[in-house]
Amino acid sequence: MDIAIGAFLGLAIGGLCRWLDIPSPAPPTPVGALLVVAMTVGYLVAGQLA
């Protein structure tokens, strides 16, 4: 359930940033986006191990 809420909030924030022409809080390069994905996956894995 937490993953679904996180995904929904991420999509909602990204959509609102695009709709309101606010700079997105995410990096604009593929490497930066992969860094965000890697940090998210690491956070989820650490949560499962703890």
Angstrom distance (rounded) from CA 12 to CA 9: 5
CA 39, 17, 31, 4 dihedral sign is positive
List pLDDT tens digits, range 11-34.
Answer: 787 777 778 888 876 677 888 778
pLDDT at 18: 79
Q: State pTM to two decimals.
A: 0.51
- Domain parsing of the chain, residue ranges: 2-49
**What one-character-per-residue DSSP string does 7-43 give?**
HHHHHHHHHHHHHTTPPPSS-SSHHHHHHHHHHHHHH
